[in-house]
């Protein structure tokens, strides 16, 4: 220590070292994505750092806030963005006095711009920020006041019209043919949906329907640019209008997937290289992948610059066609977040920030969709943010794809990360689809369904439904029925150090009461899982109803479960 | 300029003081920001509203500012 002190000391967090402070931010576990394409964090919690850490600077969707808790007593500080209209909110920790205080800054950054210009006399409004000192060291219990305030700000308004609270989705990608989807495959599902999945109303055609280019690459958001049709005429001989007509004829609602980047070999990119968003060094923001490759590859996928008038006009026409002329009533907008969260992205025509262009995009889709249609955000590996605008769902975690036990475990870890601070849900936190996968054993599959059910965010199914036996149909319908936007999921055994297996004990709460509980053995051997924490928060869980059969043996101090087994109970 | 402290027992936020407030001439360019000071009690915590004036930490091409 030195006796030198600054005349202008920095803002600090006061949190004595003796209290063993740690911090949680969703980025601890998620890590960066766009730059590194890695998503494999190993910790939820980290000690307060002496090195500089900026929370809110990583890419893809994250929660814009931080929780600092004590490792020795129930005490914490919670701080989060209160709005996201213009600026990104970032929180910087950078050392401290080593005893009592930790340097702490908040920055509001005009993402997508180098700077903002301020006219003479003009004052720019900042984003709102919320602070609270809480009597808990569990971030899952630190945010009630924050959400009360967000509710007053009108953040939950879209929930009134969100159709997914009652109407679920069948999607063609997961547990299905993925990019090999055909008209025949989709139409084959319609009578099965109608007859066996009464809560499913939307039929969502995922990637794979678009026309291929001579290059071997499939169209993405550019599917309506120029001549040559939009749909693949071999896979979808009837085209979009016939597809929509058939879906509606079955009393169902058509929805579509749109990939919010342009195929690098498309006429759009050949004629308008200036439509590609660039970084702060003028380099085009391009990804290379076999995704969207019909043959050959890998090919470039280009992020569009929304500040370009031509891009705006094209998207306006796209929406007018897809929703107005063709009649789709819902959209999964995939890969949507690159343009708004690549930190080095710079819009070609300055003046509006990424948050403002995102709002423009959201308004565009809302204007063309029916009021009770859905807008779904899907990013590569998003976590959760309360600021998802007037959308109806956001897909978090990883793509379940064809399904596997290893993926189910990862999704469990994501579910906790997403819900740790996103305690209430202005829109549906979509865990991705459920469906049968032969790679699962029956025990593994039911445990995955238990996770999906207790997450409260299961609105989507997938797969070739005619292949399912009665029991699988029943379990999937039960799982869909348990989706509830107003429920909150909480883990009672959150891993404190390096993460091994996902947490075993989960509860779903509504109006302060436990409505469901799940105990899941993620291990590949039988285990006794202690339930002391569950007994404490819900003394009558043993008398709740088993949702489906389980080999669990309930004991006085815990539950004995076979490898991969689980117990799901509800009131 | 106001100095803001939220403290309870031994923990809290201290000296959440803004750096500068923009009211400069045309061409002032703000690069990074701190937060405003118009807070109120809300929810159980403190809320800095959207109406807070933005605080600018670094300025480019700005002949003068109030901060």
Which CATH number do you get for residue A266?
3.20.20.70
Residues A139 and A280 in one domain: no
- Closest-approach residue (CA) in chain B for A15: B11
Find, in chain B, the residue whose alpha carbon is nearest to that of A77.
Answer: B12
Coil, strand or helix at A192: helix
CB-CB under 8 Å, A126 with B33: yes
Contact residues on chain A for B15, CB-CB shorter than 8 A? 9-12
Q: Which residue of A has its CA nearest to B63?
A: A120
Nearest beta carbon to residue B53 from set A123, A127, A131: A123
Query: A118 with A26, same domain?
Result: yes
At residue A77, the 3 state secondary structure works out as strand
Burial of A67 (0-12, 13-18, 19+ CB in 10 A): buried
Q: Is A351 on the interface with B (CB under 8 A)?
A: no
**A21 and A103 together in one domain:** yes
Distance to chain B for A486, nearest Cα, Å: 19
DSSP code of B1? -
| Same domain assignment for residues A24 and A86 | yes
In a domain, A195, yes or no: no
Burial class (CB in 10 A: 0-12, 13-18, 19+), A115: middle
Same structural domain, A89 and A212: no
Query: In sequence order, which residues have a C-beta less than 8 Å from that of residue A350 and are 6 or more positions away?
Result: A113, A114, A307
Count CB neighbours of A500 within 10 A.
9
Q: Which residue is closest to B38 within chain A, CA to CA? A: A128
CB under 8 Å to A215, separation ≥6 — which residues?
A: A265, A296, A299
> Does B35 have pLDDT greater than 60?
no
Q: Does residue A549 sit at the B interface (CB-CB below 8 Å)?
A: no
Same domain as A350, residue A234: yes
| CA A524 to the chain's CA centroid | 28
Per-residue tens of pLDDT for chain A, all 571 residues: 578 887 777 789 999 999 999 999 998 887 666 665 566 778 999 999 999 999 988 777 889 999 999 999 999 999 999 999 988 888 989 988 888 999 998 877 888 987 776 655 566 677 888 899 999 999 999 999 999 999 999 999 999 999 999 999 999 999 999 999 999 999 999 999 999 999 999 999 999 999 999 999 999 999 999 988 899 999 999 999 999 999 999 999 999 999 999 999 999 999 999 999 999 899 999 999 999 999 999 999 999 999 999 999 999 999 999 999 999 999 999 999 999 988 889 999 978 999 999 999 999 999 999 999 999 999 877 788 999 989 999 998 888 999 999 999 999 999 999 999 999 999 999 999 999 999 999 999 999 999 999 999 999 999 999 999 999 999 999 999 999 989 999 999 999 999 989 999 999 999 989 999 999 999 999 999 999 999 999 999 999 999 999 999 999 999 999 999 999 999 9
Task: Give the residue on A whose Cα is nearest the Cα of B34.
Answer: A107
Within-domain flag for A225: yes
* CB-based contact, B53 to chain A, within 8 Å: yes
Using the beta-carbon criterion (under 8 Å), do B47 and A133 form an inter-chain contact? Answer: no
Query: A340-351 burial by CB neighbour count: b if 16+ within 10 A, else e?
Result: bbbbebbbeeee
Find which of B33, B57, B65 to mutate to test the A interface (most A CBs within 10 Å of its CB): B33
The strand pair at B28-30 and B59-60 is best described as antiparallel
- The reply to whether A26 falls in a domain is yes
Q: Do B57 and A117 touch (CB under 8 A)?
A: no
Place of tokens 């006095």: A97
Per-residue CA distances from A542 to A56, A546, A554 (Å): 41, 9, 8
Nearest to B6 among A85, A107, A133 (CB): A133
Is residue A433 included in any domain, yes or no?
no
A318 plus A226 within the same structural domain? yes
Q: Do residues B65 and B28 touch, judged by C-beta distance below 8 A?
A: yes
A491 within domain boundaries: no
Examine the fold and report which residue of A119, A152, A185 is the final residue of a domain before the chain moves on: A152
Residues A357 and A233 in one domain: yes
Give how far B24 is from chain A: nearest CA, Å. 6
Judged by a CB distance cut-off of 8 A, whether residue B45 touches chain A is: yes
- The token pair that represents A457 in the structure block: 């965010």
Q: Are residues A352 and A219 in the same domain?
A: yes
Cis peptide before A474 (omega within 30 of 0): no
Give percent helix, percent strand, percent coil of chain B, each to the nearest 5: 0, 40, 60
CATH number of residue A549's parent domain: 2.60.40.1180
Query: Which run of H or E residues covers position A59?
Result: none
Nearest CA in chain A to B12: A14
Domain of residue A262 covers 206-246+258-395
With 0.90 as the threshold, say if the pTM is over it: yes
Name the domain boundary from A375, A395, A415.
Answer: A395
Same domain, A117 and A263: no
Residue A198 located in a structural domain: no
Distances (CA, A) of A105 to A89, A94, A225, A520: 10, 9, 46, 40
Q: In this structure, what is the dihedral angle of CA atoms A545, A548, A552, A553, given to the nearest 10 degrees?
A: 40
Q: Do B7 and A85 count as a contact with CB atoms less than 8 A apart?
A: no
A87 in contact with B at a CB cutoff of 8 Å?
yes
SS3 of A239, please? helix
Helix (H, G, I), strand (E, B) or coil at A504: coil
Is A443 part of any domain? no
Number of domains present in the structure of chain A: 3
Q: Is residue A193 in some structural domain?
A: no
| Residue matched to tokens 């602070």 | A131
Which DSSP helix (H) or strand (E) runs through A440? none
Residue A292 to residue A332: CA distance in whole angstroms: 16
B14 contacts on A by Cβ (under 8 Å): 11-14, 101
């Amino acid at each position: 220590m030195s006796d030198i002190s600054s005349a202008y000391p920095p803002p600090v967090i006061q949190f004595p070292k003796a209290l063993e402070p740690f911090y949680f931010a969703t980025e601890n576990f998620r890590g960066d994505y766009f730059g590194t394409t890695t998503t494999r964090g190993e910790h939820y919690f980290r000690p307060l750092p002496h090195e500089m850490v900026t929370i809110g600077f990583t890419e893809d969707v994250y929660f814009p806030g931080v929780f600092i808790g004590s490792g020795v007593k129930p005490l914490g500080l919670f701080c989060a963005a209160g709005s996201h209209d213009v600026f990104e909110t970032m929180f910087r920790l950078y050392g401290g006095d080593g005893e009592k205080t930790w340097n702490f800054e908040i920055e509001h950054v005009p993402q997508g711009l180098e700077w903002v210009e301020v006219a003479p006399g003009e004052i720019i409004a900042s984003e709102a920020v919320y602070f609270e000192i809480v009597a808990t060291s569990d971030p899952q219990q630190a945010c009630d006041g924050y959400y009360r305030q967000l509710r007053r700000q009108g953040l939950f308004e879209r929930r009134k019209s969100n159709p997914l609270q009652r109407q679920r989705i069948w999607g063609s990608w997961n547990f299905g043919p993925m990019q090999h989807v055909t008209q025949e495959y989709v139409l084959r599902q319609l009578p099965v949906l109608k007859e066996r999945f009464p809560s499913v109303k939307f039929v969502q055609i995922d990637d794979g329907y678009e026309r291929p280019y001579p290059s071997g690459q499939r169209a993405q958001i550019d599917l309506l640019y120029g001549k040559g049709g939009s749909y693949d005429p071999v896979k979808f001989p009837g085209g979009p209008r016939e597809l929509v007509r058939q879906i509606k004829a079955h009393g169902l609602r058509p929805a579509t997937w749109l990939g919010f980047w342009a195929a690098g070999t498309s006429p759009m990119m050949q004629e308008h290289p200036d439509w590609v968003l660039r970084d702060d060094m003028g380099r085009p923001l391009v990804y290379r992948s076999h995704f969207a490759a019909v043959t050959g590859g890998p090919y470039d996928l280009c992020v569009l610059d929304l500040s370009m008038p031509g891009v705006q006009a094209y998207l306006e026409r796209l929406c007018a066609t897809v929703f107005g002329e063709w009649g789709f009533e819902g959209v999964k907008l995939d890969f949507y977040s690159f343009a708004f969260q690549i930190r080095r992205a710079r819009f070609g025509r300055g003046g509006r920030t990424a948050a403002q262009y995102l709002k423009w995009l959201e308004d565009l889709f809302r204007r063309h969709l029916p009021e009770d249609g859905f807008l779904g955000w899907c990013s590569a590996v998003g976590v959760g943010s309360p600021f998802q605008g007037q959308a109806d769902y956001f897909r978090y975690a990883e793509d379940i794809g064809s399904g596997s036990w290893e993926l189910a475990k990862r999704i469990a870890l994501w579910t906790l990360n997403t819900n740790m601070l996103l305690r209430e849900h202005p829109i549906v936190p979509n865990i991705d689809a459920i469906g049968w996968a032969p790679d699962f054993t029956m025990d593994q599959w039911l445990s995955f369904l238990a996770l999906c059910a207790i997450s409260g965010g299961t609105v989507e199914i997938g797969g070739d439904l005619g292949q399912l036996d009665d029991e699988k149909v029943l379990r999937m319908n039960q799982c869909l029925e348990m989706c509830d936007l107003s429920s909150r999921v909480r883990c009672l055994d959150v891993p404190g150090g390096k993460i091994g297996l996902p947490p075993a004990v989960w509860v779903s709460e509504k109006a302060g009461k436990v409505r469901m509980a799940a105990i899941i053995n993620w291990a590949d051997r039988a285990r006794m899982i202690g339930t002391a924490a569950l007994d404490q928060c819900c003394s009558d869980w043993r008398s709740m109803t088993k949702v489906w059969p389980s080999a669990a043996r309930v004991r006085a101090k815990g539950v004995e479960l076979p490898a991969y087994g689980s117990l799901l109970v509800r009131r | 300029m106001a100095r803001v402290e939220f403290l309870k027992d031994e923990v809290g936020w201290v000296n959440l003081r803004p750096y500068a407030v923009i009211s400069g001439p045309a061409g002032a360019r703000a690069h990074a920001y701190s937060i405003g000071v118009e807070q109120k009690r809300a929810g159980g915590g403190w809320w800095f509203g959207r109406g807070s004036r933005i605080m600018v930490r670094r300025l480019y091409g700005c002949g003068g500012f109030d901060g």
